[in-house]
Amino acid sequence: MPNAPYAPDTILERSPEQVVQAQLDAYRARDLQAWLATYAEDASQYEHPGRLLARGHAAMGERLAVRFTDPSLQVRLISRRVIGNSVIDHEEIRRHYDKGLGRAEMLAIYEVRDGLIQGATFVFGEPRYD
């Protein structure tokens, strides 16, 4: 799909906001390859304030592959702020948590350079169960 929003030959021309939107679109579509294509090969993901969740495509892909099998998975973008190369999303995630189906708010802070997400830090809210 050469015209897809996440195609490697076009993503380098995109703004940080467009890269993060392509990542969100791929997440919503549960398209793991498209999602990974928005991240640098050696990107890292952290839970605030500094707990490493995953580093590199293999670890990030493994982490998300399980999440993408959840048929209830949904994400709603509440707000977005862009400051230079940083994009901060406030989201609501609906999925199965340890105690069942629920929703939780999350802040996602993305650092974008050279057309790819280099790192992401997440602040997870407590789930509210349906």
31: Cβ contacts below 8 Å, ≥ 6 apart: none
In a domain, 100, yes or no: yes
Q: Domain range holding 115?
A: 8-129
H-type alpha helices, 2-124: 8-11, 16-29, 32-36, 56-67
* CATH code assigned at 18: 3.10.450.50
In a domain, 104, yes or no: yes
Q: Are 81 and 66 in contact (CB under 8 A)?
A: no
In a domain, 3, yes or no: no
Among 124, 110, 122, 119, residue whose Cα is nearest residue 40: 119
In a domain, 1, yes or no: no
In a domain, 2, yes or no: no
d(CA 95, CA 70): 7
Query: Would you call the peptide bond into 49 cis, given omega within 30 degrees of 0 as the criterion?
Result: yes
pTM: 0.87
In a domain, 39, yes or no: yes
Instruction: Write down the pLDDT at residue 33.
Output: 97
Domain count, the chain: 1
d(CA 77, CA 80): 8
- Residue 9 has a CB neighbour count (10 Å cut-off) of 7
In a domain, 26, yes or no: yes
Structure tokens of 40? 């640098």
Over the chain (130 residues), what is each successive 10-residue block's mean pLDDT?
48 86 97 98 97 97 94 97 98 94 97 97 95
In a domain, 51, yes or no: yes
Instruction: Write down the pLDDT at residue 12.
Output: 57
H-type alpha helices, the chain: 8-11, 16-29, 32-36, 56-67
Instruction: Write down the pLDDT at residue 130.
Output: 81
